[in-house]
Amino acid sequence: MTIHDKFSRLGTDNAPGQEVRQKPGGLEAMMRGGRLEGRPVDFSHGDVDAFAPTPGSFEVFSEGVATGGCQAYTEYRGALTIRQELAERLTTFTGAPVDGEEGMIITPGSQGALFLAVASTVTRGDKVAIVQPDYFANRKLVEFLEGEMLPVRLHYERGEGRAGLDLDQLEDAFRAGAKVFLFSNPNNPVGVVYSREEIEAIAALASRYGATVIVDQLYARLVYSDVAYTHLRAGRIEAQNVITIMGPSKTESLSGYRLGVAFGSREVIARMEKLQAIVSLRAGGYSQAVLRTWFNEPEGWMAQRIRYHEAIRNDLLKVFRAGDGIRVRTTEAGSYVFPSLPALSVSGPDFVRILRLQSGVIVTPGTEFSPFSGNCVRLNFSQDHAAAVAASERIVALVERYRA
Amino acid sequence: MTIHDKFSRLGTDNAPGQEVRQKPGGLEAMMRGGRLEGRPVDFSHGDVDAFAPTPGSFEVFSEGVATGGCQAYTEYRGALTIRQELAERLTTFTGAPVDGEEGMIITPGSQGALFLAVASTVTRGDKVAIVQPDYFANRKLVEFLEGEMLPVRLHYERGEGRAGLDLDQLEDAFRAGAKVFLFSNPNNPVGVVYSREEIEAIAALASRYGATVIVDQLYARLVYSDVAYTHLRAGRIEAQNVITIMGPSKTESLSGYRLGVAFGSREVIARMEKLQAIVSLRAGGYSQAVLRTWFNEPEGWMAQRIRYHEAIRNDLLKVFRAGDGIRVRTTEAGSYVFPSLPALSVSGPDFVRILRLQSGVIVTPGTEFSPFSGNCVRLNFSQDHAAAVAASERIVALVERYRA
């Protein structure tokens, strides 16, 4: 494969946060009616102004700067004392032992952890099972590494109680030789949580076929009322076959510090460190200090954050469900909703651009997440509550206006 | 190639900063004499406590945090206003236009820029010309991408006035099909600067053979008295064939913020952004703000920093040259010295470990930089002046003790 072919498959034009690089050419001819006024909302990511970073995070960063050299330069896998502190808290959170010394790496963002984990387990020609829909970078990582993607459908629209993973298709993928299964739980973009039965089935299948599972649990702390969350690593699966990825990011509004962690298989973590040495050396030294605040927030702070998000979720679900032909599954964790829209007179990606131009609302097109999601849009509702509701009403109004 | 093979070639055991992970096993039997006391010095990287970060850098970071969302989330290639500011200053510094909008990307450290630049130009089977000795990650990047390395010797020991690149070997590499040439100027680990004639010859050869040149100019600001520095990108070479990498790092003691920039070829920069989207998303948003201080330091600050480093360099050269059989070329830029040691009774890597255990001095073994440099060690002398001199004296004393 030439370098041109390799990069022509790696599009970012519709990726969240990149909208500013789009040129509006050609849309005018399709547009109907005038602008809907209202406070602009960028649903492509959470609004750290609406939800402020963890109290004390900036102070801990400042102490990191004041500490100087030993904080600026750490082992490639991150400062040992910080890894050890985290290991203890993540053991409690996930319900299975975390080895801070040999079984954990701190990375520049959870995206950094995801890249390193996949690049440390997948090479050219390797088969990888990927959920559809799932986080848009998963597919791209496999393509960049010249692996072969074996899709596994998530039938999330079939209803609550389980995420809807097609377990037969997952077994087919393992049977066809998939050596890695990569998925997010809660699922991004749908916001559903895998049931205990689904997680147990994944563990059993991965063990039977000797596959490595990389589970992106970025939103595993932001779980809503009456939802049970099951940690894959705490189940019946060999510890060396699981890598769990988390990070203080959108839930804690700490994305600006670019921090992620991966933990689990010592062998894979050792490879990830070797690779980090040539990809980015290490997560920012001073930023690493911010991890001291993680899973260490003031009493009640996280519970309140969950309550606020649940209230926004409830209102957004009402707005979308009032729209004729709009369907949306209830978000169980994280801050995404993924409504599917009725047939429109313009394509999904064009509607997304029209939304930006006519209503000041930025969403991410469903095509980023699966080939079957062209009629969906993803919203990160970690936003100012009133602004998010008003912006969702403008989406519904424009759906009405552009209905086919 | 299996994933095991791929990673077995990516060693980091002797990489700078990783010494803490080494186990001392087996060394006791070789050791002679007792410990040499003195303040420990870690020459594997600069000491940001001895040389403090740029004045105002922390304040600008803090303003970045206070700015909130629009600083935390930027385009993948970095905040536009910051890129535009930088483009102007880098145009002045390098002597050729920099396009902040389409021809620049901000990365997590200059290591991040290097990874993205190589991964955006080299794919499996591509031939890449690599200087020996040169920065240790260069070779590893080519190996990780399954490219083929064509070595080009740097005969730095032949004397001053030119770096000593073997231009015939470089042409041989291009003739054999090398499509990329990757090198650092000033050279890391030797600290030599390529002469105008050498840079012109590189530009002419790359143009003749249509190759892309990636030049790592990380230390191009820390140039000592009476040394002329020539920017490749300002010479007779097609702009779309050059990527220049810099960053506010060791020179400015800003490594803790993990910032790098790459600029030049719009096509390569566009690919680098696509790749950054799946490797790390973006350089830390708040950290990007620190770039506002770069090439924007208080009057006289950089000149003073250069003077201090030159004074340390002069003293270290004296110490090493007084050692029997130790040879060292004069550092022309940057903060590395790369002395070659006489024959010892222990291997190079073992001597490096003995240095750490018996004298509290950490250096990087020459084998990290080329297969011909087993008798050399690299020191980053951006350290407390007196401590660096005393530690170098301990190195010379241990060379004497372990002489073959």
Confidence check: pLDDT of B260 > 70: yes
Question: How many Cα atoms sit within 13 Å of B112 on the Cβ side?
Answer: 38
pLDDT tens-digit readout, A218-232: 999 999 999 999 999
Question: How many Cα atoms sit within 13 Å of B364 on the Cβ side?
Answer: 26
Contact: B281, A258; criterion CB under 8 Å: yes
Across the interface, which of A10, A61, A280 has its CB nearest the CB of B274? A10
Q: Which residue is associated with the tokens 């096509």?
A: B267
Which of B275, B278, B288 would you mutate first to test chain A, the one with the most A CBs within 10 A? B278
Is the CB of residue A266 less than 8 Å away from at least one CB of chain B? no
**pLDDT at B286 (0 to 100):** 87
**Residue that wins the pLDDT comparison between B128 and A69:** B128
Nearest to residue A156, comparing CAs of A315, A364, A328?
Answer: A328
Helix, strand, or coil (residue A58): helix
**Residue that wins the pLDDT comparison between A323 and B20:** A323
Is the CB of residue B23 less than 8 Å away from at least one CB of chain A? no
Q: What is the mean pLDDT of residues A278-299?
A: 92
What's the count of helices (H) and strands (E) in chain B, helices before strands? Answer: 13, 12
**Nearest residue of B to residue A59 by CA position?**
B62
The CA distance from A70 to A402, in Å, is: 58
Position B167 confidence tier, pLDDT thresholds 50, 70, 90:
very high
Chain A partners of B43 at a C-beta cutoff of 8 Å?
none
Across the interface, which of A68, A140, A256 has its CB nearest the CB of B65? A256
**Residue that wins the pLDDT comparison between B70 and B45:** B45
Confidence check: pLDDT of B3 > 90: no
Across the interface, which of B141, B281, B284 has its CB nearest the CB of A284? B284
Contact: B45, A73; criterion CB under 8 Å: yes
Position B404 confidence tier, pLDDT thresholds 50, 70, 90:
very high
| Domains of chain A (ranges, CATH numbers) | 18-52+300-401 (3.90.1150.10), 57-293 (3.40.640.10)
The CA distance from B322 to B389, in Å, is: 13
Confidence check: pLDDT of B356 > 70: yes
Is the CB of residue B146 less than 8 Å away from at least one CB of chain A? yes
Ranking A8-12, A91-95, B320-324 by mean pLDDT, the lowest is A8-12
Nearest to residue B177, comparing CAs of B114, B237, B129?
Answer: B129
Ranking A205-214, B10-19, B196-205, B268-277 by mean pLDDT, the lowest is B10-19
Position A208 confidence tier, pLDDT thresholds 50, 70, 90:
very high
**Nearest residue of B to residue A64 by CA position?**
B256
Position A24 confidence tier, pLDDT thresholds 50, 70, 90:
low
Phi and psi at residue B67, to the nearest 5°: -65, -30
Q: What is the mean pLDDT of residues A26-33?
A: 87
**pLDDT at B19 (0 to 100):** 67
The CA distance from B56 to B4, in Å, is: 46
**pLDDT at B21 (0 to 100):** 66
Secondary element (H or E) of residue A139 = helix A136-144
**pLDDT at A102 (0 to 100):** 96
DSSP of A318-361, one letter per residue? HHHHTSTT-B-PPP-BSSEE-PBPPPBSS-HHHHHHHHHHHH-E
Q: What is the mean pLDDT of residues B378-403?
A: 97
Position B12 confidence tier, pLDDT thresholds 50, 70, 90:
low
Structure tokens of B80? Answer: 């536009």
Structure tokens of B384? Answer: 């407390």
**pLDDT at B14 (0 to 100):** 67
Which residues have CB under 8 Å from B60's CB, separation 6+?
B289, B290, B292, B293
Contact: B69, A49; criterion CB under 8 Å: yes
Provide the 8-state DSSP code for B37. P
> For chain A, what percent of residues have pLDDT higher than 90?
81
Is the CB of residue B387 less than 8 Å away from at least one CB of chain A? no
Q: Give me the total of CB pairs closer than 8 Å, taking one residue from chain A and one from chain B.
A: 196
Q: Which ranges of B160-282 would DSSP assign to H, the alpha helix?
A: 167-175, 196-209, 266-279
Chain A partners of B45 at a C-beta cutoff of 8 Å?
73
Secondary element (H or E) of residue A113 = helix A109-119
B336 - beta bridge partners?
Answer: B380
Q: How would you classify the pairing of strands B180-184 and B212-216?
A: parallel
The dihedral of CA B64, B67, B68, B69: what is its sign? negative
Q: What is the mean pLDDT of residues B80-109?
A: 97
**Nearest residue of B to residue A257 by CA position?**
B284
Q: What is the mean pLDDT of residues A134-156?
A: 96
Question: How many Cα atoms sit within 13 Å of A368 on the Cβ side?
Answer: 24
Kindly report the nearest CA distance between residue A68 and chain B, in angstroms. 6
**pLDDT at A82 (0 to 100):** 95
The letter for the amino acid at A322 is A
**pLDDT at A243 (0 to 100):** 98
pLDDT tens-digit readout, B212-242: 999 999 999 999 999 999 999 999 999 999 9
Is the CB of residue B155 less than 8 Å away from at least one CB of chain A? no
Structure tokens of B210? Answer: 């249509």
The CA distance from A43 to A108, in Å, is: 23
Ranking A136-145, B12-21, B389-398 by mean pLDDT, the lowest is B12-21
Contact: A75, B17; criterion CB under 8 Å: yes
User: With a CB-CB cutoff of 8 Å, which residues 104-143 of chain A face chain B?
Assistant: 108-109, 111-112, 114-115, 120-124, 126, 137, 140-141
